[in-house]
């Protein structure tokens, strides 16, 4: 493949719910122009390489699980690049708590684009603070409940609670794109503005991405 997209899931994703996660990856793969006989060859990977926290659990409020997952994600991407065409461009698509995982791993990832979807925060206070040379994108659907999550971070008894700045805030410095009216689980819904924009980012048609 010339273009590779890797999806990183958020909370409550497990082998029991993997079918739903994979369906999002499949919807993206069907949309990519390289699979219709034109454009760059593409591949989409649904990566479930860590134990995700429960949506209603103390673990989802801290970056602890992300810190454990980040090395595994970095190792996986190194291995994937080793078996991919030379010069292939990688896009990391991070959803919900998966954006915290990507934020922790970002300095160690060789990717062209880092996409934050429905993010409660990345653990960083700005895109520059992620320590990556990738273009950093962010989107949130109009009906996504994560908009109501307090974007704060504090140290309590030696543990960091909260996930930091809102990636959609102008101060964060991400490239914000349109995600439409969808909710927290709708970013890969067929026909949605978010999926169309994600596909454009993956194939490098960044000039066609619509703003949010």
At residue 102's C-alpha, the angle toward residues 117 and 41, to 5°, is: 75
97: in domain? yes
> Can you give the CATH number for the domain in which 59 is found?
3.40.50.1820
3-state helix, strand, coil in the chain (%, to 5): 35, 20, 45
176: in domain? yes
For the chain, the domain total comes to: 1
Give the Å distances, CA to CA, from 27 to 23, 32, 35, 65, 147: 6, 9, 12, 28, 25
25: in domain? yes
- At residue 12, the pLDDT reads 80
Coil, strand, or helix at residue 108?
helix
Query: Each residue's pLDDT tens digit in the chain (212 positions)?
Result: 999 999 999 878 889 989 999 999 999 999 997 665 667 889 999 999 998 876 655 655 566 677 789 999 999 999 999 999 899 999 999 999 899 999 999 999 999 999 999 999 998 899 999 999 999 999 999 999 888 887 655 565 455 555 678 999 999 999 999 999 999 999 999 999 999 999 999 999 999 999 97
Domain housing 109: 3-206
211: in domain? no
């Amino acid at each position: 493949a010339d273009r590779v997209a890797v999806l990183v899931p958020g909370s409550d994703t497990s082998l029991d719910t993997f079918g739903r996660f994979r369906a999002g990856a499949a919807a993206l793969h069907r949309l990519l122009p390289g699979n219709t006989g034109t454009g760059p060859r593409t591949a989409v990977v649904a990566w479930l390489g860590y134990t995700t926290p429960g949506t209603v659990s103390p673990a989802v409020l801290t970056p602890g699980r992300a810190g454990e997952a980040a090395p595994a994600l970095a190792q996986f991407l190194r291995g994937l690049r080793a078996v991919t065409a030379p010069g292939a461009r990688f896009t990391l698509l991070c959803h919900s708590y998966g954006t915290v995982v990507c934020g922790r791993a970002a300095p160690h990832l060789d990717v062209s684009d880092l996409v934050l979807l429905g993010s409660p925060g990345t653990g960083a206070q700005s895109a520059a603070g992620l320590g990556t040379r990738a273009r950093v994108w962010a989107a949130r659907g109009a009906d996504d409940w994560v908009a109501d999550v307090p974007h704060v971070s504090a140290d309590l008894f030696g543990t960091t609670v909260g996930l930091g700045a809102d990636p959609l805030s102008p101060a964060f410095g991400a490239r914000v794109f349109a995600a439409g009216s969808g909710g927290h689980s709708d970013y890969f819904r067929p026909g949605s503005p978010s999926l169309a924009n994600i596909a454009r980012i993956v194939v490098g048609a960044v000039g066609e991405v619509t703003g949010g």
